[in-house]
Amino acid sequence: MCLTQVLCTTCGSNQVRPFGYSTHDVPRYYCCNDKCEIKTFMLEYRYKACEPGVKEKIIDMAINGSGIRDTSKVLGISKTTVIKTLKKKKAVW
């Protein structure tokens, strides 16, 4: 028997409990830390666009002048996902 300690991917807390399975039978976890921004997470994602930090990379690449097709090829995600993420992002400046 092998036990693995699961830490929250957002806040790093070890106060995590099981939260069922995704539709592809990957275990989901629930972070019990009240200050955590994201409550449920998985350790491995089927789609790269769902991984934490990808949306920030899309915005960084757009600010640095990368196009939609360039961003989707570099990150290995759909062009539609890039467009949707950029449309959702509010202007900060």
Q: Return residues touching Zn ion (CB under 5 A).
A: 8, 10-11, 13, 31, 33, 36
Token representation of residue 31: 């972070």
Residue 79 DSSP code: H
- Provide the minimum distance between the beta carbon of 11 and Zn ion in the complex, in angstroms, as a whole number: 3
By beta-carbon proximity to Zn ion, the closer residue of 8 and 58 is: 8
- Provide the minimum distance between the beta carbon of 81 and Zn ion in the complex, in angstroms, as a whole number: 24
Q: Who contacts 86 (Cβ-Cβ below 8 Å, separation ≥6)?
A: 58, 59, 62, 68
Closest by CA position to 35, among listed 14, 13, 5, 7 = 13
By beta-carbon proximity to Zn ion, the closer residue of 32 and 63 is: 32
By beta-carbon proximity to Zn ion, the closer residue of 26 and 74 is: 26
- Provide the minimum distance between the beta carbon of 5 and Zn ion in the complex, in angstroms, as a whole number: 14
